[in-house]
Amino acid sequence: MSASDGHRVSIYIGVLTWARLVRGLRIRGAGERESGAFLLGQRGADSAKVRDFRFYDDLDPSSLDSGGISFHAVGYSALWTYCRKRKLEVLADIHTHPGPVAAQSSIDRRNPMIPVRGHVAIVLPNYAQIRLWSLKPAAVYEYEGDYRWRQCNIEGAPKVLKLRVW
């Protein structure tokens, strides 16, 4: 139910799941506020497959009220209950930012959603007003512990998040 112990795995997400996720983030943000979700699935030895996702505001109804994201204990409790019942674990989190460039903010760096080494965080630009069928606009980061992050979707870095047709 938690992030990886630091062993790097590739996270695969189906194109239709990705499109539903991006569309949901877009709708919840309404072009004027951040939104987010947890990507859930099962982790194998070298890869993980996203099977489901849960939006922040479904888990914590007040999480998007400020225009930014403020996720509370009630949301984490609902998340762990959901994962336990369905035998899923959190593979990554994703949230949106305003503007055309996806990048982790200083607030993001200091406040990992799952502060466990190996956890993956994804940021989408333009409040998810992007093409539904591409990972290109996404900024992908892996948590290294001690509030340090490694960017994963830049040239020369291993690709952690991969789109698949299933």
Task: Tell me the per-residue pLDDT of 24-42, one tens digit each, with 9 for 90 and over.
Answer: 999 999 999 999 999 999 9
Is 158 part of a structural domain of the chain?
A: yes
Confidence of residue 159 (pLDDT cuts 50, 70, 90): confident
Is 3 part of a structural domain of the chain?
A: no
Per-residue pLDDT tens digits for 136-151: 899 999 999 999 999 9
Residue whose C-alpha is closest to residue 32's, from 108, 96, 93: 96
We report the CATH number of the domain holding residue 144 as 3.40.140.10
Average pLDDT over residues 116-125: 95
Is 100 part of a structural domain of the chain?
A: yes
The stretches of 47-137 forming alpha helices (DSSP H) are: 56-59, 73-86, 106-110
Confidence of residue 7 (pLDDT cuts 50, 70, 90): low
Is 2 part of a structural domain of the chain?
A: no
Average pLDDT over residues 42-47: 90
Is 15 part of a structural domain of the chain?
A: yes
Is 116 part of a structural domain of the chain?
A: yes
Is 4 part of a structural domain of the chain?
A: no
Q: How many CB atoms lie within 10 A of CB 26?
A: 19
Q: Where are the beta strands (DSSP E) in the chain?
A: 10-14, 36-43, 47-55, 89-96, 120-124, 139-145, 148-151, 161-164
Count of structural domains, the chain: 1
Q: The pTM is what?
A: 0.92
Q: CB burial class (10 A; 0-12, 13-18, 19+) of residue 64?
A: buried
Whether 108 has a pLDDT exceeding 70, the answer reads yes
Q: Which domain holds residue 36?
A: 10-164
Is 5 part of a structural domain of the chain?
A: no
> Around 163, how many Cα atoms within 13 Å sit in the side-chain half-sphere?
15
